[in-house]
Amino acid sequence: MRTGQLEVQPHCPTCKKLLDGFTAIDHDKKPKAGDVTICAYCNEVLQFTDDMSLKLASPGVIEECGLLEISRGQRQAREFKERVDMRRMIKESIGST
Ligand SMILES: [Zn+2]
């Protein structure tokens, strides 16, 4: 499990947000085609396509990952987003003074 920045920044098919970060569910490497990821904004379970855009993960794919792993990933994605929001808030408050 790892979070980080994406080089290619796909849009979430559910909430349409530009995803510049990721949470890898089943390994510690950068995401590759076919990997399952969680949208940090809407917590949707997504899968990278061959061209590294995103589609909804199919129930079979989710099952393969394991629901425990998925829910752990969703929790991590939430925490990741909270950290990003926090940093942005701090940056904005510094910038406004
Ligand atoms: Zn989303």
pLDDT in tens, 24-56: 666 567 778 998 888 888 999 999 999 989 999
Task: Give percent helix, percent strand, percent coil of the chain, each to the nearest 5.
Answer: 35, 20, 40
Amino acid at the residue 90: I
Q: What is the pLDDT of residues 56-96, one digit of tens each?
A: 999 999 999 899 999 998 998 888 889 889 999 999 999 86
| pLDDT the model gives residue 80 | 85
Regarding pTM above 0.95, the answer is no
Instruction: Give the Å distance between the CA of 71 and the centre of ligand 1.
Output: 15
What letters, b where the CB count within 10 A reaches 16 and e where it falls short, cover 11-31?
ebeeeeeebebbbbbeeeeeb
Task: Tell me the sheet residues that pair with 37.
Answer: 24, 46
| CB burial of residue 69 (10 Å; 0-12, 13-18, 19+) | middle
Instruction: Give the Å distance between the CA of 42 and the centre of ligand 1.
Output: 4
Instruction: Give the Å distance between the CA of 38 and the centre of ligand 1.
Output: 8
Query: Which 3 state secondary structure label does DSSP give 84?
Result: helix
